[in-house]
Amino acid sequence: MGLLDKVDNMDDAKPAKAKPKAAKAVAKATPKAAKAVAKKATPKAAKPASAKIKAKGDGKDKPEKIRPTGLPEGFELAGNMPRYIGWIINFAWNFGVSIGLLSILSTGADSDLTIGWAVALLMILVNWLVLPIWTGRNIGEFVSRTKYINSSGNKPIFLHAVLNNSIGFLSLIGLILMMANFQNISTSGMVPFITGVVFIVFWIFNFFLKKNSDFSQGIFDLAFSSYLVKHVSTGNETGWMARFESLGDFGDKWAERSANREVKQKEKAAKKAAKAVEKNESAEETSDSEETKESDEDSSED
């Protein structure tokens, strides 16, 4: 019996000793598995792109060069009224004296107009070449307080102003060539006449291009990336520049008067529309009253 009891005790003791080992194995295995799962589950933090760039480069920050395109910030495009004022002033300055001299010649007066033609030519040269090269603006732009700038916000190269001012002169020369050589197209006047047609077509093309452009740019404006914007004087101008800047007062008064006229015209149109509405309402009321009277008369006769 004793041996049997010992055997039974040994059998009972073995499983009891194996269980703690298994529990320890499980306890040891679970932290490792948890760590492995944690490593897989937690992604690595992505390095910022700037850090990668610095690691690849030499460690110096190199700013990117940005090329300005479009209308620069801080400038406002010139409206239709300043453009109109500038065009009228330039036309009067460039061709006013010449038109007056031609009118004198058309009357048949026999007089010496050499000084007059010299003055007309001098005025054209000043507005066409001298002022654009010196200041970047012409008389019309001084009066209308406008100026041309490029995509960087600076004054364009003087060639832009010279070529831009040449469009009107080319159209006038083209018109003269066409009128002078119209009767001689079949002989020696063919080439001058075609040249005049080309100048006129060039002016028309530039006009419609400027009209349909988002920034009202013509051919040379697009070629030089230039924009006509409003000009604000600094107040520090002296000498001739101060006198030229003072011409803008005339343009401001002109624009103010035209704005007041537009307001008055709108008010008159609104009053006319209100009167028309009142007349229509009164006419409808009278017609309604007449219809009610007729219906009352018909009912009384019945």
The contacts of residue 278 (CB under 8 Å, 6+ apart) are none
Convert the pLDDT of each residue in 111-125 to its tens digit: 788 898 899 999 999
**Eight-state DSSP code of residue 77:** B
Tally helices (H) and strands (E) across the chain. 11, 2
Convert the pLDDT of each residue in 288-298 to its tens digit: 777 676 666 66
In residues, how long is the chain?
A: 302
Convert the pLDDT of each residue in 125-180 to its tens digit: 999 899 998 888 999 999 999 999 998 888 899 899 999 989 988 888 898 888 88
Average per-residue pLDDT for the chain: 76
Decide if 220 contacts 207 (C-beta within 8 A): no
pLDDT band at 301 (very low <50, low <70, confident <90, very high): low
pTM for this model (two decimals): 0.62
Convert the pLDDT of each residue in 52-83 to its tens digit: 444 444 444 545 544 445 788 888 889 888 99
pLDDT band at 98 (very low <50, low <70, confident <90, very high): confident
- Model pLDDT, residue 26: 43
Decide if 145 contacts 251 (C-beta within 8 A): yes
- Model pLDDT, residue 296: 64
Q: Residue 171's closest CA among 193, 190, 151, 198? A: 198
- Model pLDDT, residue 37: 45
78's tokens: 């010139």
- Count CB-CB contacts under 10 A for residue 163: 16
